Amino acid sequence: MNKLTIADLDVKGKRVLLRVDFNVPLDGNHQVSDDTRILAALPTIQYLLNGGARLIILSHLGRPRGKPAEAFSLRPVAEMLGNILQQQVFFSPALLGPVAQAAIDCLKDGDCLLMENVRFYPEEEKNDVQFSKELASLADVYVNDAFGTAHRAHASNEGVTRYFDNAACGLLIEKELSVLENLIKSPEAPFCAIIGGAKVKDKIHVIGNLLNKADEILIGGGMAYTFLHSQGKRIGNSILDGESTDLVAETFARAETLGKTVHLPTDHVVAESFSNDVPTRIVEDHIPDGYIGLDIGPKTIAHFLSVIGNAKTVFWNGPMGVFEMNHFQQGTFSIAEGLAASSAVTVVGGGDSVAAVNRINKAGKMTHISTGGGASLELLEGKKLPGIEALTEKKHGT
């Protein structure tokens, strides 16, 4: 990566506009119920505060659709961040205008101010030019550490960079890029990629790009049934992405040409309806009519774990079944356990996979937990991320 980082900046006494991803879940009392994303941004925040920055933090939360909504306010995040930092985190209920400017003018070196949800403004997702200029006018220096939104060209992470001499990445983005780009360029072999989830179209191009480096591809979740269908297997009433069957066939053909192995489930946990309250059974090979495949079966689990056990590098994105229901969670949790026990470099990306790892308290056993599901997939697909591309290039010799 040849972008400016915060190590290249002198921030003492300067107003630093920091874009983070504080899109955290809130409980019924409007309190933060999972601080994972706040903790992920903490190293950058602490680095800037210790350097004497006057820190102005921008984030989004939820999908307020361009209008203020108390349910999506970042005020409770300011309170939690203050508790974590053990210092007051000021909060501005406005992003622009006299109220916001007054809050910024009060900042001293080492102070921290969290602005209200940037998506309360429709101009944010439209990447509006004037809105970007107004955001830039709040500060002297810009830092982006919101990897989770790096695949979106929005005002607060792409448009705003045009109006700063220096736009740098934070420590989280630097780490994400280092880990994920290593998967593409120089993973230690054998490299195993585990891809799950429901929709083939969301992952098929990632699988195609991973075939360039991965030695083994394990396919689970709802998308596996389209792959099985293309191999002539009966899948009963399981999910089928009929529009992606040609792409699946191309993937198999390319894997064969490259000498790579695509592993599919050989047994399944099935039920007659998409429910946790109906009887389940385990079937091998074909799924009978009237049944839905909702998790990988024990033979598949054992086989997948044996492949993982031989790997030196593992990337996992997407659950193996409907793990939100306890009858269909064994496959996903077994994969998480397998990665936790592995001595390989283990990288987990995607909201559901990360949630599963957190559910069984194994996040600390992984080499890296990616904070950006969509961003990590697009990077692994070979796409450029607008929020990264917009950052300032390092000058030769810097």
260-281 average pLDDT score: 95
> Chain-centre distance of CA 181, in angstroms?
15
Q: Extract the tokens encoding 305.
A: 């774990």
- Report the chain's C-alpha Rg in angstroms: 23
Residues 106-150 pLDDT 10s: 999 999 999 999 999 999 999 999 999 999 999 999 999 999 999
Report the predicted TM-score, pTM, of the whole model to 2 decimal places: 0.89
Residue 83 and residue 190: Cα distance in Å, rounded? Answer: 43
Mean of the per-residue pLDDT values of the chain: 94
pLDDT of residue 184: 86
Residue 222 and residue 220: Cα distance in Å, rounded? Answer: 7
Whether 16 shows a pLDDT value over 70: the answer reads yes
Residues 38-78 pLDDT 10s: 999 999 999 999 999 999 999 999 999 999 999 999 999 99
Residue 202's pLDDT band (cuts 50, 70, 90): confident
155-160 average pLDDT score: 98
Whether 201 shows a pLDDT value over 90: the answer reads no
Contacts of 332 (CB under 8 A, 6+ apart): 196, 295, 319, 320, 321, 323, 352, 353, 356
Residues 210-265 pLDDT 10s: 999 899 999 999 999 999 999 999 999 999 998 898 999 999 999 999 999 999 99
Residue 135 and residue 159: Cα distance in Å, rounded? Answer: 9
Which residue is listed with tokens 């306010």?
A: 73
Residue 1's pLDDT band (cuts 50, 70, 90): low
386-394 average pLDDT score: 95
Grouping H, G, I as helix, E, B as strand and the rest as coil, residue 136 is: helix
Structural domains of the chain in order of their starting residue, each with its CATH number: 6-175 (3.40.50.1260), 187-381 (3.40.50.1260)
Catalytic residue ranges: 37, 199, 351, 374
pLDDT of residue 396: 58
Residue 255 and residue 208: Cα distance in Å, rounded? Answer: 9
Residue type, position 33, single letter: S
166-174 average pLDDT score: 96
75-96 average pLDDT score: 97
Residue 314 and residue 357: Cα distance in Å, rounded? Answer: 14
pLDDT of residue 199: 84
- Residue 60 has φ and ψ, to the nearest 5°, of -110, 170
Rounded to 10°, the helix 171-185/373-381 angle is: 40
Q: Say if residue 190 is preceded by a cis peptide, omega within 30 of 0.
A: yes
The dihedral built from the CA positions of residue 238, 378, 32 and 135, taken in this order, carries a sign that is negative
Total residue count of the chain as it appears in this document: 398
Residues 326-374 pLDDT 10s: 999 999 999 999 999 999 999 998 778 888 999 999 999 999 999 888 8
Bridge partner residues of 57 (DSSP): 18, 114
| DSSP structural state of residue 66 | T
